[in-house]
Amino acid sequence: MKFVISLVITTLCLGLPAVAQAQHDTIQVNKIPNPIKIDGVLDEAWANAAVATDFWQYFPMDTSLAGNPTEVRLLYDDNFIYYVAIAKNRLPDVMGAYVTPSLRRDFRGEANDAVTFTIDPFQDETNAFQFGVNPFGVQREGLLVNGANGSSDLDQAWDNKWFAAAKQYKGYWIAEMAIPFKTLRYKENSRFWNAKFYRISSDGPERSSWPKVPRQYPIINLAYHGVMAFDQALKKPGANVSIIPYTLANYTENRVDVRNFQSGFSTGGDAKIAVGPALNLDLTINPDFSQVEVDQQVANLDRFEIFFPERRQFFLENADLFAGFGSDNLRPFFSRRIGIARDTATGLNVQNPIYLGARLSGKLDKNWRMGLLSMQSARDYEIAQPSTNYTVGVLQRKVFSRSNIGFIAINKQAIRDKLLEQAPYDYNRVVGVDYNLASKDNRWTGKFFHHQSFDPGSKAGKNSVSAATLSYTVVNWDFDLTVQDVGANFNPEAGFARRTDYRRAAGNFNWKFYPKKGSLQSHGPGIDFDVLGNDTYGTTDWDLNLMYNLRFRNSTILDLRLRREFVFLFDAFDPTNSGGLKLPAGTGYAYNLLRYHLVTDARQPIYADIAGRIGQYFNGSRINVEGTLNYRRQPFGIFGLSFSYNRIRLPQPYADANYILIGPKIDLSFSRSLFWTTFIQCNNQINNVNINSRLQWRFRPVSDIFLVYTDNYYSETYVNKNRALVLKCTYWLNL
């Protein structure tokens, strides 16, 4: 396996042809002496600005200019880049019926009206900033990473101060932005930046861009871009230092076993310091994450650990440098391990405070990026948990046109405490190298990596993982292949390995047809396979899928797959996870099922995202349906209902199960600065009803007051388990 991966990497490095620099559409950016008022009005300052027109349609087709024309102009002064977009409608004399999910910042979705400005100051076609605004003046910003090959490469956790306004007129709307140079990272004396403008229009619906982006790639993809040409070399931005302190008061009640009532007050904060033109130093002392939205619960019917995404702000910014190593189920570093400890008495995971942390990350120059992270978690005598240090170092080098090679080293080490002599003080370390492939035209993408863990119990030859994924995409078809070799003793304690001790081969092939007429935008068949095994048991898991995917011009999506699946149980397992009689170890089960996924038109007031399965399940049957139903009351918010139903029937003497998870959610925007979210989750599998209600007032840019209420009940009796009330204030201060 390792030889094969090494051979593939060598072949790619030596065999990639040199590609001449393509000619890109260019927009001139002229300097102005006075600031522009950001109000959504096209005043005289814009009269002599160059104009980017000829937006190309991206959806539903990519063979013509956009049906909803858009014009973009750019200017700058000593402090800001100014952007204005005139977003025209098909009907010139009618007020537009625009769509927005709410007035909350950082909106997302393919059905919302918006214009977006992407900036790549280092022209590396790999990393970029993104700023957007919709017809209601709601802002969004984010970071694009890894060449933006998919929606997961857009990180909207990044927040910063910038200014925007929008105004609606008959037949069009205008969006204006003022982006401080201090907000960006760029090289002094540069004159050319890569840029892209794109627009999402609910009329059609239609998505369009300047310049053209082929429809088989994400519209955010950084391989396809234009160029901003400044009329003068840019000066070095001034000092960029931000202090973000917080104060917090809380009250908690614990009614399980022994009643416990506590109240408290704490303070802490973050600092963001620009180090040079493209590095940022983030510091945190006594961080608090009480305002973070709770995880959406899922029915647990799996033999292995379930992955929940990171939601904490400090860990999300520049997350690709640290979390981008490995693959979804094989991550050498997973930041959610920090701040979580295991109670040695109960075996349960509990929250573990963090004393302080520091992160230095960003670009050294056009080709080099680096990251250094160190966090110190708190000791907890009640659960015999010593204070633990987590340190991660990353170095990444761009190679060829858009590929990169990265190195990572991770150290987890508990600090000795004389009052915790019985606590485990073993270290855990991981080192690794990743090669991320992205060809100039984005046809070829892939990832190749090798990681190795070290701890006192590691055994030579069984504590590493090697993997390779290679994908090829053109307009009518695409494929990808994956191979993995995971050692039995690979142990990334600060990472995420869903399972170990297996070899895996997987792949899929998809074909697409694009009808010129009718309701379908594209459709086509596909085939998918996945095989796992090891030396001890041979083949342990496999599945084969025949698929058909349909995408409609109104943005509705329907995916169907017929699946044949095999599972070998190397340990006894209860398929209901209810504590019933387990299927015996050493037995194998092959069965058939149908899976489906439906996403309806999100432009409508009522829309849904529904998925599920029906068919055989081990030695019985299972019916599953899950998803979300949403009602949008524009522009004030969304009333949603998440749900999951699993009906499992097994022959006697094995247990049956009916699992129901219901989660009503209310997300209201009273204005662009006052929001209220309430999420209720009733889960009969874990006998719990959770209520999380959060009121947020953004009293200044990126400065908030949160009031958060959390409550937990037994779902069978509705007896209270615990509750908490938190009042928190954060303030963003630029020095």
Please answer whether residues 376 and 134 qualify as being in contact, where contact means their C-beta atoms are separated by less than 8 angstroms: no
User: How far is 366 from 120, CA to CA, in rounded Å?
Assistant: 11
Q: Which pLDDT tens digit goes with each residue over 385-396?
A: 888 999 999 999
What pLDDT does 306 receive?
53
**DSSP 8-state code for residue 35:** P
User: How far is 244 from 395, CA to CA, in rounded Å?
Assistant: 28
Using pLDDT thresholds of 50, 70 and 90, give the confidence band for residue 19: very low
Strand 520-534 and strand 538-552: pairing?
A: antiparallel
The token duo for 660 is 């129901």
Strand 260-275 and strand 139-144: pairing?
A: unpaired
Strongest mean pLDDT among 91-100, 331-340, 547-556, 570-579: 547-556
What pLDDT does 16 receive?
52
Strand 70-76 and strand 26-31: pairing?
A: parallel
Q: Which pLDDT tens digit goes with each residue over 134-150?
A: 999 999 999 998 899 88
| Chain centre to alpha carbon of residue 239 | 30
User: How far is 117 from 27, CA to CA, in rounded Å?
Assistant: 13
What pLDDT does 616 receive?
97
What pLDDT does 342 receive?
65
Please answer whether residues 435 and 444 qualify as being in contact, where contact means their C-beta atoms are separated by less than 8 angstroms: no
SS3 of 276, please?
Answer: coil
Closest CA to 148 of 224, 212, 62: 224
pLDDT of residue 233 exceeding 60: yes
Going 133 to 134 to 138 to 142, the CA torsion angle's sign is negative
Closest CA to 40 of 139, 160, 143: 139
* Percent of the chain residues topping a pLDDT of 90: 66
Residue 3: partners with Cβ closer than 8 Å, 6 or more residues away: none
pLDDT of residue 18 exceeding 60: no
Please answer whether residues 380 and 398 qualify as being in contact, where contact means their C-beta atoms are separated by less than 8 angstroms: no
What pLDDT does 308 receive?
59
Q: Which pLDDT tens digit goes with each residue over 84-102?
A: 999 999 888 788 889 998 8
Ramachandran region, residue 31 (left: φ > 0; alpha: ψ -120 to 50; beta: rest): beta
Closest CA to 164 of 142, 135, 188: 135
Average of per-residue pLDDT across 626-630 = 95
What pLDDT does 298 receive?
59
pLDDT of residue 257 exceeding 80: no
What pLDDT does 74 receive?
97
Least trusted range by pLDDT, from 91-100, 159-168, 592-601: 91-100
First-last CA distance in the chain = 53
Q: Which pLDDT tens digit goes with each residue over 2-16?
A: 544 554 554 455 335
Average of per-residue pLDDT across 318-323 = 81
* Helix%, strand%, coil% for the chain, nearest 5: 5, 55, 40
Query: Exposed, middle or buried: residue 97 (CB in 10 Å: 0-12, 13-18, 19+)?
Result: exposed
Average of per-residue pLDDT across 246-264 = 86
Using pLDDT thresholds of 50, 70 and 90, give the confidence band for residue 275: confident
User: How far is 496 from 501, CA to CA, in rounded Å?
Assistant: 14
Closest CA to 625 of 614, 641, 634: 614
Using pLDDT thresholds of 50, 70 and 90, give the confidence band for residue 321: confident
Q: Which pLDDT tens digit goes with each residue over 401-411?
A: 899 999 999 99
- Does 379 or 597 have the greater pLDDT score? 597
Peptide bond into 211 cis (omega under 30): yes
Average of per-residue pLDDT across 50-72 = 95
Which segments within 32-188 are labelled E, that is strand?
51-52, 56-59, 70-76, 80-88, 114-120, 128-133, 139-144, 154-155, 163-169, 172-180
Using pLDDT thresholds of 50, 70 and 90, give the confidence band for residue 60: very high
